[in-house]
Structure 1
Amino acid sequence: MADRHTHGHLHTHPHRRPHEGGGMMKSLLPSKGPSATQILAIVTLLPVGGTLFCLAGLTLIGTLVGLAVATPVFLLFSPVIVPAILTVGLAVAGFMTSGAFGVTGLSSLSWILNYLKQGKSVPENLDAAKRRMADATAHPGQKKKDVGQTIQSKAQEGKEGARTT
């Protein structure tokens, strides 16, 4: 294509063809037509995709119609429905949480059993974690005692200050 435009003359490179170059476009477009496998995949997937798309549309329409019909019923019975939904939602959340804790506990026990079956001793970092947990449980009790002593000493100071005046 055109390189320069000088004094009304257009200079071109005669060895370049207009369809060559443009490495990005060349890599995006196949050099030959689609293969038989690609054509077969498209011919197979188009009806399946179209059918699923139609079913999605029908489901959406049915949901909207059902919602339009059920909305007045929901408004009439909302004093009963809302607490029932909350109760069911909380029960489901409780069961899900319980299940998650159960799976976590079972996987932890399984890991410990597999670890012990391999004949290894308790790792050092597990001992360190035990010590940290023991320190953490003892620390709040000590802190509570310290705060209690501080409050008691300030109360004593307040009583002594009141007596001197």
Structure 2
Amino acid sequence: MAEHHVQSKLHQKQPLSHQVVKTATAVTAGGSLLVLSGLTLAGTVIALTIATPLLVIFSPVLVPAVITMFMLASGFLASGGFGVAAVSVLSWIYRYVTGRHPTGADTIDTARSKLGSKAREMKDKAEQIGGVQSS
């Protein structure tokens, strides 16, 4: 709240010429971007008008070609992603096995000790139940 009050005081103390320059700059930048947007829209409409007959004529060739290219690109990207994931996992496992303590090794060790203690508990319980029933 205090910052807003200070900013409004600073804004009021600026000379009129600075405010006029800021406004002129904003209007110029906004106007030029608006003109550029209009030119881009006009160019897109003209290009689409010219390209539509070509797309209709070549669509029996272009559609399967686009589908094939999409499948090839997605296959290569997936293959590369899986390869990077496999190399990083193998690197992590190698560092873990050699004792270099990679990120997350504490969590793995904690989980292993919990599983081991639960397994011992279950084994002891099974031996107790088995010993009671056989007597």
The TM-score with structure 2 as length reference comes to: 0.49
Structure with more helix by fraction: 2
The TM-score with structure 1 as length reference comes to: 0.42
Higher radius of gyration, 1 or 2: 1
